[in-house]
Amino acid sequence: MSTYESSYCSQSDVAFVLPEMAKYSQRSILSPNWVASGTSHLFYNYSTGSGFSVLFRDGKDLGAEQGSEPGSDDQWRYVEADGRLEYYIGGGSANTLNGSFFEFGEDMDTNLTKVIARASDFVRSMSGGISIYPRKGVGVASATGNDWPEIIVMSTAHIAASFLTAPYDQELSEIHSGKASNAEGTGWLDLLRKGEVTINQQESLQKNHGIVRRVSLNGSTTSDIVDVMGKPSVSWDLISISIVSGGTLVRGSNSSITYSTKGSNDDGLQVEALYTTETVTGGWNEVGHGMYVRWSPGVLTASDTWELEISGELDATASPIKMAQINRI
């Protein structure tokens, strides 16, 4: 089988929320029912099920399954037709093996990959009518470098942790699942569905007000864009704002600092000049599409660059629903 669906978090993300995850291997314990096979040093156990790829004895990984009858120490194979596990031990008896602790299942990496995939499918179903798109590309990834919105990554990691811990500690499992969704409606996915939190793809109030991102600032620069004002006159754009002539913005002195801005058109992103060689005043400076920015006093250096993402649209799912009770007196 194949799939085009993606997993939203990594094994390191699960380890971030569940540092002790190695404790929760989800292996099955083999009943101590070893019997002699009739062949020297070869023993059988009929208490296993099929579908496992690794076997452990007293915590030791016994390596890959043999393709033929085991003939060397610690070799094993599962004969599915007979439901029989075969194990070879160079010295000892059935009693020796029955005194050992055997586990079977999948290796940790394979199991964790499956758990994360299952958790990702749960998150897709629990996100309601909100589609989840990747944050991949130049200047698009989150601050952590993840390819998906961080609230989706962390929700997936906690649900995966819930799956891992459920067979061993139900209370801990519920704590982890509750981070994503709970009966009180305060989980991250609950808040996302209600519009109380948003992810980057949504046309949110943040984009409507304007989101500033630093693209490239000189190490000597001490000023920054500290405020945004306006109402976007376009459905969406990513305005580039660059310092043309640098200098120091000082209260009580005329400014010689200039900036230029570029917007998008049918030919591409940030290719159309909106403003050229405008003075940085420290007050509201227009950057295009009805938007204004304000720089703080300090040093600005030529080629300092910011992006201003704006959206004139507002996604209904990104607006929290408010309720009020009216009583007739």
Domain boundaries, the chain: 11-22+108-194, 28-105, 205-310
Residue range 11-39: average pLDDT? 93
Which residue do the tokens 């579908």 mark? 51
Q: Which long-range contacts (CB under 8 A, 24 or more apart) does 204-209 make?
A: 204/311, 204/314, 204/315, 204/318, 205/314, 205/318, 205/319, 207/236, 207/309, 207/310, 207/311, 208/232, 208/310, 208/311, 208/312, 208/313, 208/314
Angle between helices 108-126 and 150-165 (to 10 degrees): 120
Evaluate if residue 143 carries a pLDDT over 90. Answer: no
145-168, pLDDT tens digit by residue?
Answer: 889 999 999 999 999 999 999 999
Residue 317 confidence (pLDDT) above 70: no
Instruction: Indicate the pTM of the whole model.
Output: 0.72
pLDDT attached to residue 53: 84
Q: What whole-number percentage of the chain has pLDDT above 90?
A: 72
Q: How far apart are CA 192 and CA 199, in angstroms?
A: 8
- Adjacent-strand bridge partners of 280: none
Q: Please, what is the end-to-end C-alpha distance for the chain in angstroms?
A: 64
What pLDDT band is residue 323 in, cutting at 50, 70 and 90?
A: very low
User: For 67-125, how does the pLDDT look when each residue is reduced to its tens digit (9 = 90+)?
Assistant: 999 999 999 999 998 999 999 998 889 999 999 999 998 888 989 999 999 999 999 99
Three-state DSSP class for 7? coil
Average pLDDT over residues 301-321: 81
Interior/surface letters 275-298, b for 16+ CB within 10 angstroms, e for the rest: beebebebeebebbbebbbebebe
Outline where DSSP puts E strands in the chain: 28-29, 35-36, 42-45, 54-57, 60-61, 76-79, 84-88, 102-105, 211-216, 225-230, 237-245, 247-249, 258-265, 268-279, 285-288, 291-295, 298-300, 305-310
Confidence of residue 305 (pLDDT cuts 50, 70, 90): very high
Instruction: Indicate whether 249 pLDDT > 80.
Output: yes
Q: How confident is the model at residue 22 (pLDDT cuts 50, 70, 90)?
A: confident
